[in-house]
């Protein structure tokens, strides 16, 4: 398996702190992988393996994309899951889809395609993963998730991350692409 990459929106410290506090009220030990708060992010596109040529092309493409965006608000909504309700595959904080996030995600997907990446075709569902990979098929969790009460955060950049499974934090920033501040 090669080095994997993804493009994401970083989470600001105030929101990271809220999500970390919420996660304390959930029995996360039932998951094999608990996401470090420093690794919280909203994935825009998962790339997988990448060649130097693809990354170079993507750098140029993403630089062009962010020049057309100004900062916008990102609003977490609630705690939710993917997979079975009582033995979820992923526990996450959902993020409200707005027109700017939708346009950004579409522009990034187009840039990735132009750079030779083949992306997952599933519907885009913005979220912040808190934990994943259910640990014990004999145990279940009560799906009475805590209420997520937090303000929105401003998004002012995209980041290209490299997955480093043996490091902490696990996701290493390769490049940052700042939006146009006008």
What are the catalytic residues? 41, 127
Nearest by Cα to 132 from 20, 46, 31, 4:
31
Q: What is the DSSP letter of 33?
A: E
Nearest by Cα to 99 from 74, 63, 64, 136:
74
Owner of token pair 């140029």: 60
Please give the Cα distance from 66 to 58 (Å, whole number): 12
Please give the Cα distance from 158 to 104 (Å, whole number): 9
> Which helix (H) or strand (E) is 143 found in, with range?
none
Sign of torsion, CA 144 73 120 133? negative
Q: Backbone phi, then psi, for 67, in 5-degree steps?
A: -65, -20
Please give the Cα distance from 44 to 9 (Å, whole number): 7
């Amino acid at each position: 398996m090669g080095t994997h990459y993804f493009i994401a929106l970083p989470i600001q410290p105030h929101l990271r702190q809220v999500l970390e506090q919420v996660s304390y009220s959930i029995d996360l030990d039932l998951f094999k992988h608990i996401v470090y708060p420093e690794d919280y992010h909203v994935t825009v596109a998962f790339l997988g393996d990448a060649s130097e040529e693809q990354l170079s092309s993507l750098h140029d493409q993403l630089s062009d994309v962010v020049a057309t965006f100004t900062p916008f608000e990102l609003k977490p909504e609630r705690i939710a899951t993917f997979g079975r309700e009582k033995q979820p595959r992923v526990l996450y904080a959902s993020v409200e889809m707005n027109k700017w996030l939708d346009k950004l995600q579409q522009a990034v997907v187009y840039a990735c395609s132009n750079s030779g990446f083949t992306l997952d075709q599933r519907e885009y569902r913005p979220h912040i993963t808190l934990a994943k990979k259910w640990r014990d098929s004999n145990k279940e969790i009560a799906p009475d998730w805590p209420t997520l009460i937090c303000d929105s955060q401003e998004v002012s950049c995209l980041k290209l991350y490299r997955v480093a499974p043996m490091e902490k934090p696990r996701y290493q920033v390769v490049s940052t692409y700042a939006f146009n501040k006008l």
